[in-house]
Amino acid sequence: MSHIVPFLRLVAFGLPLVHFGASQGVAQQPTEYDPTIFAGLEYRHIGPVGNRVSAVVGVPGDPNVYYIGAASGGIFKSVDGGIHWEPVFDDQPAASIGALAIETVNPNVIWAGTGETFIRSNISHGDGIYKSVDAGKTWRHMGLDATGRIGRIVIHPTNPDIVFAAAMGHSYGPQQARGVFRTTDGGETWEHVLFVDEHTGASDIVMDPNNPRILFAGMWQLLIQTWGRESGGPGSGLWTSRDGG
């Protein structure tokens, strides 16, 4: 992977400054719309009651099947479009979920990364990554035990044995098990393909839908202490790979 932070800093910070500088003194016009369009739109709580929802995935082509991951409540599944929810992860030792992903080749295969990645005073750690091959009925622990918190999982669209996991780590001190991990054998073994330093974890990773060899990973230097947190630093930035990691 190659480091492109200087270029991205120019794009991320330079362009917005130009935009806002050029628009000074121009009054923003209110958006006009017909209020009757939304008159019949109502939201209702469909559950499940419990905790913060940290991950949501649906089965492509089936609008009735969804999985949600909770910050400290495991994984729930709905097969009727959210009317009813069933816990499917309660027999596992980890309760905090940070990421969910479903194979496009076989939607019965689900990956779950444990450990909430949102920064709060009451976050819970996980114990790695899990995989189900029967639509959530049973789960198998697939390693990455020490990663603490996994915030994103991406699966190769045509070769589901290739999976990437973005791991933040526990963030309470120096740690080696942080960054981006890759498996090419369905989770039997893992490679540590992106490691910046022991103070920086991977907060996110995305794959180009048109070219799965192109990936972007967000890295976050973070230290959480009892009296506060140190967020950001030279380790933070955006990394890219054009050779599949």
* Tens digits of residue pLDDT in 63-106: 999 999 998 889 999 999 999 999 999 999 999 999 999 999 99
Quick one: pLDDT at residue 232? 81
In a domain, 62, yes or no: yes
Is 180 within 8 Å of 165 (Cβ atoms)? yes
In a domain, 164, yes or no: yes
In a domain, 16, yes or no: no
Which range scores top for mean pLDDT: 20-34, 48-62, 207-221? 207-221
Q: List pLDDT tens digits, range 176-185.
A: 999 999 999 9
Domain of residue 166, residue span: 53-241
Q: List pLDDT tens digits, range 121-130.
A: 667 789 999 9
The C-alpha atoms of residue 182 and residue 190 are separated, in whole angstroms, by 5
CATH label of the domain that carries residue 157: 2.130.10.10
pTM, rounded to two decimals: 0.79
In a domain, 90, yes or no: yes
In a domain, 27, yes or no: no
- The SS3 assignment for 17 reads helix
Report the number of distinct structural domains present in the chain: 1
